[in-house]
Amino acid sequence: MALINPWVLYIGVPVIIVLCLISFKRKDAYLEGKKVANTSLIEETAYFKKLYREYKLLKAAVVVCIMIAIAMCFVMLSRPAKIDTITEEIRNRDIFLCMDISDSVDDLNLDMCDELKKVVQELDGERFGISIFNGQSVLLVPLTTDYDYVLNSLDSLKEAFKDSIKRNEEGFDYFNQNIDWSTYYYKYEGTLAEEGSSFIGDGLASALYSFPDLETNKDRSRMIIFTTDNELNGEPYVTVEEAAALCKKNDVKVFAIAPENVTDENTFRTAMESTSGGYYKATSSKAYKQLVEDIKKTKTSRTGVEKKETKITDQPQKWFVWMLLCFGVYLVICKRLKF
């Protein structure tokens, strides 16, 4: 056990000592009341002596209980706690969540957000990032081990997909109270282009080149979790096949998750599997479980980089129980003494 505020005891110990000296100081001086003469006969009786001893003992017990209770208060103020230093090695596996956020995949993405959160939580130790695309790509979350930030970003995307589905069902009405327009536009900021949308190859290639040290550090294990229906609308700079070839060249595995209806599915699937990654249909109940298992099978190696985190757990419980016991004994004694 450690004390977070040990200086509290430096004040508390002298205070308790002073209170004890004051409480147990002999007080023979007459203060108030009526004097009674010839009490020696009563004081010599066995019954009086028994009651007097009991009174002195209980009075001392009252003082002790109060002092212990005060001491427990000072201990709790000093914050007794358990301090654990957790050393976690950062693995050399980087994962980007690359999502096609066009309206045609809103339903898939809505379900995907919760599942991707499970993937992030299952793979504790890796660095995660989020890249979204439509007509253009946006690096929403750079690679990080701040999982709370990644999960919060997925929550924000989930709300945007919900409002996008409502808008498509109810029509565009800026005064529609069922849609939070600030949330709705979250997925569109920076992803719209003047001509075309759902540039699948561009989105995958942008996620690829969002990996830091892609050219200089070939030893890192890198992969992309890719969600799209492969429905292209326009002329991209890079085709899906070309983007997959770039991923293969840079040893980046792509794990694609697609809805029931996928445009040119055979070509798309072949391109994804050519990266030594995987292809999964979201309609399969085992898709995400298999995805996590396949990612865990990918090779990792030690980086030599460690992250140290100090975890403080307050432990006032037993001191609080002792304080309550002291007050309980104090109340019982007071009742006996008829205070």
Catalogue all structural domains in the chain, each as residue range(s) with its CATH number.
2-25+44-82+314-337 (no CATH), 91-304 (3.40.50.410)
The pair phi, psi for residue 72, each rounded to 5°, is -65, -35
Q: How far is it, in rounded angstroms, from Cα 94 to Cα 224? A: 8
Q: Which residue has 């924000």 as its token pair?
A: 156
Joined together, the tokens standing for residue 155 give: 């929550």
Of all residues in the chain, the percent with pLDDT exceeding 70 is 86
For residue 302, the model assigns a pLDDT of 56
Joined together, the tokens standing for residue 328 give: 């309980």
Q: Are 73 and 106 in contact (CB under 8 A)?
A: no
Q: Are 236 and 199 in contact (CB under 8 A)?
A: yes
For residue 142, the model assigns a pLDDT of 92
Residues facing 255 on adjacent strands: 225, 278
Confidence of residue 193 (pLDDT cuts 50, 70, 90): low
For residue 91, the model assigns a pLDDT of 60
Q: What is the mean pLDDT of the chain?
A: 82
Best CA proximity match to 139, nearest among 168, 174, 96: 96
Checking if the pLDDT of 69 tops 90, the result is no
Checking if the pLDDT of 336 tops 80, the result is no
- Locate all alpha helices (DSSP H) within the chain, ordered by sequence: 7-24, 40-43, 46-77, 106-122, 147-170, 181-184, 200-208, 240-249, 265-273, 287-297, 317-337
Confidence of residue 250 (pLDDT cuts 50, 70, 90): very high
- Give buried/exposed letters for 54-66 (b at 16+ CB in 10 A, else e): eeeebeebbbbbb
Residue 283 DSSP code = T
For residue 236, the model assigns a pLDDT of 83
Q: How many CA atoms lie within 13 A of 177 on its CB side?
A: 0
- Give buried/exposed letters for 135-152 (b at 16+ CB in 10 A, else e): bbbbbbbebeeebeebbe
Q: Are 323 and 65 in contact (CB under 8 A)?
A: no
Measured between alpha carbons, how far is residue 211 from residues 95, 116, 141, 237, 244 in Å? 9, 19, 12, 19, 15
For residue 61, the model assigns a pLDDT of 84
Which tens digit of pLDDT belongs to each residue from 255-304?
Answer: 998 888 888 899 999 999 999 999 998 888 788 788 888 888 887 655 55
Q: How many CA atoms lie within 13 A of 267 on its CB side?
A: 12
For residue 247, the model assigns a pLDDT of 94
Amino acid identity at 311: K
230 φψ region: left (φ > 0), alpha (ψ -120 to 50), beta (else):
left
End-to-end CA gap in the chain: 38
| Secondary structure of residue 68 in the 3-state scheme | helix
Q: Are 337 and 58 in contact (CB under 8 A)?
A: yes
Checking if the pLDDT of 132 tops 60, the result is yes
Which tens digit of pLDDT belongs to each residue from 139-185?
Answer: 999 998 888 899 899 998 888 888 888 777 766 565 555 666 667 67
Task: For strands 252-258 and 221-227, give the pairing.
Answer: parallel
If one counts every other C-beta atom within 10 angstroms of the C-beta of residue 9, the result is 16
Q: How far is it, in rounded angstroms, from Cα 140 to Cα 129? A: 8
